[in-house]
Structure 1
Amino acid sequence: MSVSFENVAVKYLNAKPLSSGTRKEYRRTVAKWLAWGRGPTIDQIGRSDLRDFLDWVYEKAASDGGSNAGRTANKARENLRAILSWAWEQDFLEKLPRFPLSKPQRDVAGRHYLTKSDLNALYFATYALEQPRGWKQSLTVGHYWRAALVVFFNYGVDTGTVFQSASFHEPVLWRHVSWRPEPPSGQGRDSRFGWLYYRRVKTKKQFYRPMNRVVKTHLKSLWSDERQPGQAVFCCGSSRPNEQFQRLCTLAEVQPKQDIETGEEKPWVLKDLRKTCATYYDEHMPESSIEILGHSVGGVTYRHYAHRDPLAFKAIMSLPQPTAFAALSQGFDGECPCCRRRFPQA
C-alpha cells in the first residue's frame, strides 16, 4: 500500500521527541515538498526525485533573495534523510535511496565555542562575582559557578540541568551524586571518583556518567553534612542564570561572539558551553561527543548494537582540562596554579 511522503513525515514527528523549533524546520521541508508538487509516494522516491527537489529548493531560495541558498537546500536534505531513514526502519520502503551530494554553502556561524584561555578567565572571574541580594548560603556564589563551569565543560549538560530556571527542569540533586565507585546502573566498570546522574531537558534521556578527579573535587567542595538528598547541588541565586553568566563574561573580559557575515556582536550564553564541550571532546577523541551530549545518531547498528559506554567512560576520564580547573584539586583554591597570585574574594 502506497503512502504519501506527507503522511510518513507526520508519523515521524509523532514518534520522535523533537523540540518545537526542530519540528517547525521539518514542517517547512514538508511544505516545500508539497509546493514542489512532483513528489511520488514514499516507496517510489528515487535519487533523481531527491536531486530535482533539492535543485528546486536551491533555485527558489536564490530567486527569493536568500543569501545562502546552499545552506537552505542542505537543511532540507538533512530533514529528508532523517525521515526516509526512519521510514526504511519502519518498512514503509524496501530500499533507502541514494542521496545526491550536498550543495556548496557559505558557513556563517562563526566561532561558537569558548577557548581554554576564555574558560580560565571565566573561572578566575568567579571570585569577583558579587553576592545576589538576599544570599543566605554558607558558600559564596562563586563556589557554585566554578563547579558549574566544570560540569558544563565535562558533560555538556543543558542549562536547566544545572540551574533550574523553569518549573519543568529537573536539576541535579545531591541524591544524583554517588561517591561510590560501583556504577549505579549496575552496568560497566567502576569509577574511582564516583558517578553523576542527570536527565536531558529536551529528550528526558537518562545518563549515568563517571566523575573524573576535577569534577569530584569541585562537587566535594560544595558538599557538607547539612545537605539533604533532595536539595539541588547548584545555586546561583537568580532565576536568570544567563544574565549572571554574561556579567561573568564582562568581569573576565571575554570578547562577545561575532557574526562574520553581518559583523553583529552577540553575548555568550550558557548554551555555548555545551558547544564548547562538543568541540573539545571531538578534538580529544573523535565521535565521542555524540555519546557524551546524547545526540541522536543514524544507523540501526550504531544505535542498537554498538556498545558506546566504554568510549564515553574513556573520553570523560582522559579529557584534558583547562589549567584553572585543576587548581582546586592541586590545593590552590583562590590562587593561580602557575604564579600563586590571589584572586578577589578568595
Structure 2
Amino acid sequence: MLTTLRTAAEGYLRAKALSRGTRNEYLTTLRKWEEWGAGTPIEQLQRRDIREFLDRVHEQAVRDRGTNPGRTANKAREHLRAILSWAWEQELIEAPPRFPGPRDQRDVAGRHYLTKAEINALYFATYKMGRPRGWDAAYPVGRYWRAALVVFFNYGVDTGTVWRSTPAHEPILRRHVIWDRRSPDREAKEQSPWGWLFYRRVKTGKAFYRPMNRVVHAHLRGLMPDDSQPEAPVFLGGGARPNARFQALCEHAGIKPRLDVETGREEPWELKDLRKTCATYHDEHVPESSVEILGHSVGGITYRHYAHRAPLAFRAIMTLPQPSAFSTILRGKDSECTCCRRRFADAA
C-alpha cells in the first residue's frame, strides 16, 4: 500500500517531541502541499515534484508580499526533508529523493555559521600562520590548526576539547584516537574502516565514541609521530587564547566579521561558531542529526534511546559532504596553492 505525505507527516509528528509552534509550521507546509494538489505517494516522489511545489510556495509568498519569500520556501523545504528522511529511517521508502538547492534568503537572526568557501579559505590560510614564540613541536603550527578545523567541522566539539585552555578541560589525547575498525564501546554495532575518536563534552562531561571518516583519519594520521606518547595531546598551537589566534586566522583568510542584525554591529568570529557551523551542515545533510552529533540534552524518549540515535550519528558523520579543501590531503595536494600550484612555505 502506498503512503501519502500526510500519513508520513502524521507519523513523523507523533514520533518527535516538537513544540506546538514547530508542529503548526509542519501542518502549514502540509496544508500548502495539499492545496497544491499533489497526490503523488512518497514512494514515487521525484526531484521535479518537490521543485515545482517549492516554486509555488515561493511565488505565493511573493504574491502575498511576504517580507522574506526565500526563507518561506526554505522552511517548507526543511520540513519535507525531515519527513522524508524519517520515512527512510522507518523503511517506508527505499531512498529519499534528491532535493533542489535552497533559495537565497535574508537571514533574519544573522548568519552565525561559516560557508564552505570561508572554511576553504581558513584551511589554506593556516599555511600563513606565524611560528609561535618557543615553538618546538614536530610539525608547523598550521598543520595542527588544519586538523582542528576538520574536527570542529565534523564533530562540533568544544574549544576545550581540542585545546586545554583551562585545567578543567580534558583535551583529546593520542590514546583517544583508536585505529581499529570496531568501536571501543561494546554497545555499538557499527564498524568504521577509518577508526574511532573518543572525547568528552566540556559542559556535561558526557563521553562519545565517534567514527572517523576518511578526511578525519588522514589529518589525524598526519599528527601522530612514530614515537607517539599515549598521554600527549593531539592538538598543539592553541595557546592561552585560542580565539585570538582564530580571529587572526580569519584576517589572513580575508573573512569579514559577522554582522549582528539586531544591533547592526560587526562582531569577530569565535571558535564556538565552528560548532554552529557543524550543526548547520549536519542538519542540512541529515535532518535533526545535530542533536546527537553535538550531544545536546533533550527530553524526548526517542532521542534518549541509544539504539536509535547512535546509528543516525554514524551515518551522518560517515557521509557528510566535506569542504573541498579538506580533501586535498587525500590527493597529496595540500602542500601547494590550488590556483598557482606554488608550494607553501611551511609545507612539511
TM range (shorter): 0.5 to 0.7
Q: Which residue of 1 aligns with 2:103?
A: none
Q: Distance in 1 between matches of 2:298 and 2:338?
A: 40
Letter in structure 1 aligned against 2:294: L
Q: Distance in 2 between matches of 1:313 and 1:181?
A: 13
Query: 5+ unaligned residues in a row in structure 1: which ranges?
Result: 1-106
Letter in structure 2 aligned against 1:274: R
| Cα deviation, residue 339, structure 1 | 5.8
Q: Distance in 1 between matches of 2:141 and 2:119?
A: 17
| Cα deviation, residue 296, structure 1 | 1.4
Q: Which residue of 1 aligns with 2:231?
A: 230
Q: Which residue of 2 aligns with 1:113?
A: 113
Q: Which residue of 2 aligns with 1:139?
A: 139
TM-score, length-normalised on structure 2? 0.67
Q: Which residue of 2 aligns with 1:173?
A: 173
Query: Residues 189, 133 of structure 1: CA spacing in aligned structure 2 closer, same or farther, 3 A cutoff?
Result: same
Q: Which residue of 1 aligns with 2:256?
A: 255
Q: Which residue of 2 aligns with 1:202?
A: 203
Q: Distance in 1 between matches of 2:109 and 2:166?
A: 28
TM-score, length-normalised on structure 1? 0.67
Q: Distance in 2 between matches of 1:154 and 1:339?
A: 29
Answer yes or no: is the 8 Å Cα contact 1:119–1:322 preserved in 2: yes
Q: Which residue of 1 aligns with 2:242?
A: 241
Q: 2:246 aligns to what SS in structure 1?
A: helix
Q: 2:280 aligns to what SS in structure 1?
A: helix
Q: Distance in 2 between matches of 1:176 and 1:237?
A: 19
1:181-200 to 2 correspondences below 5 Å: 181-186=181-186, 187-200=188-201
Answer yes or no: is the 8 Å Cα contact 1:135–1:237 preserved in 2: no
Q: Which residue of 1 aligns with 2:300?
A: 299
Query: 5+ unaligned residues in a row in structure 2: which ranges?
Result: 1-106
Letter in structure 2 aligned against 1:122: L
Query: Residues 152, 261 of structure 1: CA spacing in aligned structure 2 closer, same or farther, 3 A cutoff?
Result: same
Answer yes or no: is the 8 Å Cα contact 2:238–2:245 preserved in 1: no
1:35-50 to 2 correspondences below 5 Å: none
| Cα deviation, residue 306, structure 1 | 5.5
Q: Distance in 1 between matches of 2:281 and 2:305?
A: 26
Q: Which residue of 2 aligns with 1:288?
A: 289
1:126 is aligned to 2:126: yes
Answer yes or no: is the 8 Å Cα contact 1:209–1:313 preserved in 2: yes
Q: Distance in 1 between matches of 2:201 and 2:156?
A: 10
Is the deviation greater in 296-305 or in 172-181? 296-305
Q: Which residue of 2 aligns with 1:163?
A: 163
Q: Distance in 1 between matches of 2:275 and 2:257?
A: 17
Q: Distance in 1 between matches of 2:315 and 2:341?
A: 31
Letter in structure 2 aligned against 1:298: G
- The CA RMSD over aligned residues, in Å, is 1.7
Q: 1:307 aligns to what SS in structure 2?
A: helix
Q: Distance in 2 between matches of 1:226 and 1:340?
A: 33
Answer yes or no: is the 8 Å Cα contact 1:174–1:232 preserved in 2: yes
Q: 1:207 aligns to what SS in structure 2?
A: strand
| Cα deviation, residue 300, structure 1 | 2.3
Answer yes or no: is the 8 Å Cα contact 2:181–2:193 preserved in 1: yes
1:323-342 to 2 correspondences below 5 Å: 323-337=324-338, 340-342=341-343
Q: Which residue of 1 aligns with 2:265?
A: 264
Give runs of ≥4 in structure 1 deviating > 6 Å.
Answer: none
Letter in structure 2 aligned against 1:293: L
1:150 is aligned to 2:150: yes
Q: Distance in 1 between matches of 2:324 and 2:221?
A: 19
Q: Distance in 1 between matches of 2:257 and 2:315?
A: 33
Q: 1:291 aligns to what SS in structure 2?
A: helix
Letter in structure 1 aligned against 2:219: H
Answer yes or no: is the 8 Å Cα contact 2:162–2:171 preserved in 1: yes
Q: 2:208 aligns to what SS in structure 1?
A: strand
Letter in structure 1 aligned against 2:329: L
Letter in structure 2 aligned against 1:283: E
Q: Distance in 2 between matches of 1:305 and 1:239?
A: 36
| Cα deviation, residue 234, structure 1 | 0.2
Query: Residues 121, 301 of structure 1: CA spacing in aligned structure 2 closer, same or farther, 3 A cutoff?
Result: closer
